[in-house]
């Protein structure tokens, strides 16, 4: 069984300040973990993925995430928010062997000038 919990449903940041989106997971298998972003009225875009290589994963648009097995976490960060980062972000876990992807409930990010 696998599950994913995004700890914040909404995050509001000022432009130029750091962004932290928190994600905890559970999985019976060694998981693969992903962050996806969805801009308003758009489809989903892959930001980054962890698949058992380096625990610090760099993605597109300056985002990165750190896999911490002891804490079962995969938090997403960006040092400096941009207005274009306003979107909904989904943490996704794939734990079993055939490819079932479990989505978190999403975190809505608002960026203020």
Partner 1 sequence: NAGVTQTPKFQVLKTGQSMTLQCAQDMNHNSMYWYRQDPGMGLRLIYYSASEGTTDKGEVPNGYNVSRLNKREFSLRLESAAPSQTSVYFCASILGGGARDDEKLFFGSGTQLSVL
| Tally: H helices and E strands in the chain | 0, 12
Looking at beta carbons only, is 81 or 104 nearer to partner 1? 104
- How many other CB atoms are found less than 10 A from the CB of residue 14? 11
Residues near 18 by beta carbon (within 8 Å), at least 6 away in sequence? 77, 78, 79, 80, 81
CA-to-CA distance for 22 and 28, rounded, in angstroms? Answer: 21
Interaction between residue 98 and partner 1 (CB under 8 A): yes
By rule CB under 8 A, what count of residues binds partner 1? 23
Interaction between residue 105 and partner 1 (CB under 8 A): yes
CA-to-CA distance for 92 and 6, rounded, in angstroms? Answer: 10
Q: Which of residues 31-90 bind partner 1 (CB under 8 A)?
A: 32, 34, 36, 42-44, 46, 49, 51, 90
Looking at beta carbons only, is 10 or 82 nearer to partner 1? 10
Identify the CA nearest to 83 among candidates 49, 48, 39.
39
The CB-of-110 to partner 1 minimum distance in angstroms stands at 15
Interaction between residue 99 and partner 1 (CB under 8 A): yes
Contact pick of 66, 77, 96, 101 for partner 1 (by CB under 8 A): 101
Q: Which residues bind partner 1 (CB under 8 A)?
A: 6, 9, 32, 34, 36, 42-44, 46, 49, 51, 90, 92, 94, 98-106
């Amino acid at each position: 069984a696998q599950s994913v919990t995004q700890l914040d449903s909404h995050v509001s940041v000022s432009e130029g300040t750091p962004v932290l989106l928190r994600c905890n997971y559970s999985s019976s298998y060694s998981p693969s973990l992903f962050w996806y972003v969805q801009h308003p009225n758009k489809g989903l875009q892959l930001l980054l993925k962890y698949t058992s290589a380096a625990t610090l994963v760099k993605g597109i648009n300056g985002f990165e995430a750190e896999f911490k097995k002891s804490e079962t976490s995969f938090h997403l960060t960006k040092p400096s928010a941009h207005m274009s980062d306003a979107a909904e972000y989904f943490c996704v876990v794939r734990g079993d062997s055939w490819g079932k992807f479990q989505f978190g409930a999403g975190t809505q990010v608002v960026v203020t000038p």
